């Protein structure tokens, strides 16, 4: 009799379990999607100067809220995953010409050249020289989207194709791109300077490309000639300091590390004959390469230690990371420099962001921009669910470049006025 009286209570118990399960799922969704995170303008780190005040007035995106898509845009992981898998939505197909340069060691470097589609806002000839992220090239969707937008704002664009990254271009020497080798980027810049002697340059680097362009500018003062400014987006500044964080499971960095290492292995092995074939005249450092270790590598550090550092004869992984990182070159850059990272970038540990923060506190030419959201090269914008084709990052880089061009034009006009007044006296 008692059992019969208790039976009707069982559905209530099950309902309670269901409610608890739903609540748990909703909690996980809210936490994973970071829905409670606020939207805000990016944090800015800079020294008060005439240039910084002009930039704040001329670049509204620096002081406006960056508003990512409501449902998923506050998750750095989803922003990063969408960039990695999809690149961009409704990406355009800008028309360009592929250029080939034979390097001194026999390597064939390529870049794609895109002419402007409108007159620049200051009426000058300006070329953006662009270095993509790791294993990327001009055919990647995020590059195509950015190039198309820059062209429509009056910029000529030259986009480096990392050595070995294009699947239809064979290697012609036993070498491919590395973390900080600036040879191919420098060759592209020299080609642009020679072909367009009146042009001025805006230097742009994404992720690994940010490291390369900053290192290139800091290597010698001559590399900064005709350069108006430089923009670096989502780089990590120091591979030596980053390697420890890449082995941590915090923010799933160890998983991202594995995915990037797997991609690098595929690229290297697709060029195995050109790099390791018996008929190839290899440098001594590559002779002892054990491909079996490459097959079993599960991290970028293992790939770098077994193969990448040997392309340039480094004796150790530590030496390779120290020499190839831009951190030791940043203080030698004298042109206006904007460094952009996202606070929720799962690839760049927050400890690495002390590097640009410290630099911006010491150098008047440096501005560090740190939005709360954006992931790694994501920075998607949109209302609720679907992102816009153009990202916050695309608009910010062009807006900053336009402001610097106007700043230089104003300086020139002031200088001309002062000269006229001096002549009248």
Identify the band that residue 26 occupies on the pLDDT scale cut at 50, 70 and 90. very low
pLDDT recorded at residue 1: 46
Encode burial over 159-182: b for 16+ CB neighbours within 10 A, e otherwise: bbbbbbbbeebebbbbbbbbbbbb
Is 97 part of the annotated catalytic residue set?
no
Q: Which of 162, 271, 373, 376 is catalytic?
A: 376
Task: State how far the alpha carbon of 265 is from the alpha carbons of 159, 290, 298, in Å.
Answer: 24, 13, 9
Please tell me the total number of residues recorded for the chain in this structure: 425
pLDDT recorded at residue 84: 85
Task: State how far the alpha carbon of 46 is from the alpha carbons of 266, 314, 353, 361, in Å.
Answer: 41, 36, 14, 6
327: three-class secondary structure by DSSP? coil
Q: Which of 207, 232, 325, 360 is catalytic?
A: 207
Is 137 part of the annotated catalytic residue set?
no
For residue 392, pLDDT over 70 is answered with yes
pLDDT recorded at residue 30: 54
For residue 303, pLDDT over 90 is answered with yes
pLDDT recorded at residue 413: 76
Residues 3 and 281: their CA atoms lie apart, in Å, by 86
Q: Are the beta carbons of 208 and 185 closer than 8 angstroms?
A: no
What's the chain's average pLDDT? Answer: 90
Domain boundaries, the chain: 35-238+329-407, 249-324
Residues 97 and 194: their CA atoms lie apart, in Å, by 17
Segment 32-49 mean pLDDT? 88
Q: Exposed, middle or buried: residue 263 (CB in 10 Å: 0-12, 13-18, 19+)?
A: middle
Q: Are the beta carbons of 53 and 350 closer than 8 angstroms?
A: no
Is 120 part of the annotated catalytic residue set?
no
Identify the band that residue 18 occupies on the pLDDT scale cut at 50, 70 and 90. low
Q: Which of 77, 345, 360, 373 is catalytic?
A: 345
pLDDT recorded at residue 350: 96
| pTM given for the model | 0.91
Apex 375 CA angle, 370 and 379, nearest 5: 75
CATH for 35-238+329-407 is: 3.40.50.1820
Q: Are the beta carbons of 368 and 361 closer than 8 angstroms?
A: no
Sign of CA dihedral 310, 313, 318, 322: negative
Segment 189-205 mean pLDDT? 98
Q: Exposed, middle or buried: residue 111 (CB in 10 Å: 0-12, 13-18, 19+)?
A: buried
């Amino acid at each position: 009799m008692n059992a019969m009286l208790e039976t009707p209570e069982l559905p209530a118990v099950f309902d309670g379990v269901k409610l608890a399960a739903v609540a748990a799922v909703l909690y996980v969704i809210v936490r994973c999607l970071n829905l409670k995170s606020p939207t805000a303008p990016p944090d800015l780190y800079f020294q008060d100067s005439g240039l910084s005040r002009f930039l704040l007035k001329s670049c509204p995106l620096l002081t406006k809220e960056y508003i990512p898509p409501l449902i998923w845009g506050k998750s750095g992981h989803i922003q990063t995953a969408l960039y990695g898998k999809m690149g961009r939505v409704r990406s355009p197909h800008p028309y360009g010409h592929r250029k080939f340069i034979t390097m001194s060691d026999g390597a064939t470097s390529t870049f794609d050249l895109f002419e402007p589609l409108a007159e620049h806002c200051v009426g000058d000839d300006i070329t953006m020289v662009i270095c993509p992220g790791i294993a990327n090239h001009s055919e990647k969707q995020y590059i195509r989207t950015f190039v198309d937008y820059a062209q429509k704002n009056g910029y000529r664009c030259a986009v480096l194709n990392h050595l070995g990254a294009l699947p239809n271009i064979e290697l012609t020497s036993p070498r491919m791109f590395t973390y900080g080798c600036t040879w191919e980027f420098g060759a592209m810049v020299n080609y642009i300077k020679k072909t367009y002697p009146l042009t001025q340059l805006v230097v742009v680097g994404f992720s690994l490309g940010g490291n390369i362009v900053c290192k290139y500018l800091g290597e010698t003062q001559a590399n900064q000639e005709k350069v108006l400014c430089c923009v670096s987006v989502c780089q990590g500044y120091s591979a030596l300091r980053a390697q420890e964080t890449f082995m941590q499971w915090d923010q799933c960095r160890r998983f991202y590390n594995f995915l990037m290492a797997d991609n690098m292995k595929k690229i290297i092995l697709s060029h195995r004959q050109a790099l390791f074939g018996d008929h190839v005249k290899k440098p001594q450092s590559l002779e002892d390469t054990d491909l079996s270790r490459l097959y079993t590598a599960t991290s970028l550090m293992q790939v770098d230690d077994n193969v990448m550092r040997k392309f340039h004869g480094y004796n150790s992984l530590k030496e390779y990371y120290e020499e190839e990182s831009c951190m030791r070159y940043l203080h030698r850059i004298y042109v206006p420099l904007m460094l952009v990272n996202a606070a929720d970038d799962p690839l760049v540990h927050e400890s690495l962001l002390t590097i640009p923060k410290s630099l911006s506190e010491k150098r008047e030419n440096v501005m560090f921009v740190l939005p709360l959201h954006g992931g790694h090269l994501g920075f998607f914008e949109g209302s609720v669910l679907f992102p816009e084709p153009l990202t916050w990052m695309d608009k910010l880089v062009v807006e900053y470049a336009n402001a610097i061009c106007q700043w230089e034009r104003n300086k020139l006009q002031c200088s001309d006025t002062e000269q006229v007044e001096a002549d009248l006296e």
